[in-house]
């Protein structure tokens, strides 16, 4: 149990286009999902906290208009990178917390590698 999927696993897009990344909890309901960014050989940096049915909470320094997050259901959150540029190239990871369990454990998706050319 506790599986989180991400789609796509990798994507290449041209500068100026938008890319949508999906994060799904497959066998549990997630009232809260998190989006992280990870540069090569670095740690995970939290970008935003996504709550089902409400607006996402962004971390300081993360552009809300550039990284659009939607959490429309208890099993799906999406991250849209708008007007992508080469500096947005990175590894994006989502995680989800099981609404039915106490204890703060987050289950991570396998990540999405974004390359902007």
Task: Note the residues at the interface with another protein (CB under 8 A).
Answer: 32, 34, 38, 41-44, 46, 49, 57, 91, 93, 95, 97, 103-106, 108, 110-111
Closer of 50 and 78 to another protein (Cβ): 50
CB of 96 to another protein, least distance (A): 12
Minimum CB distance to another protein smaller for 32 or for 82:
32
Distance of CA 108 to the CA centre of its chain: 10
Nearer to another protein, 38 or 89 (CB): 38
CB of residue 59 to another protein, shortest distance in Å: 9
CB of 44 to another protein, least distance (A): 5
Backbone φ and ψ for 70, nearest 5 degrees, come out as -130, 130
Q: How far is the CB of 52 from another protein (least distance, A)?
A: 13
Q: Between residues 16 and 55, which has the closer beta carbon with respect to another protein?
A: 55
d(CA 70, CA 64): 11
């Amino acid at each position: 149990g506790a599986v989180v999927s991400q789609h796509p696993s990798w994507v290449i897009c041209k500068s100026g286009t938008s890319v949508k990344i999906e994060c799904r909890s497959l066998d549990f309901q997630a009232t809260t999902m998190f989006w992280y960014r990870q540069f090569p050989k670095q740690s995970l940096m939290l970008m935003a906290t996504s709550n089902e049915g409400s607006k996402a909470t962004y971390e300081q320094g993360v552009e809300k208009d550039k990284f659009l997050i939607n959490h429309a259901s208890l099993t799906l959150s999406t991250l849209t990178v708008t007007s992508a540029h080469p500096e947005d190239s990175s590894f994006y990871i989502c995680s989800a917390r099981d609404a039915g369990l106490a204890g703060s454990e987050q289950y991570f998706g396998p990540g999405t590698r974004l390359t902007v050319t």
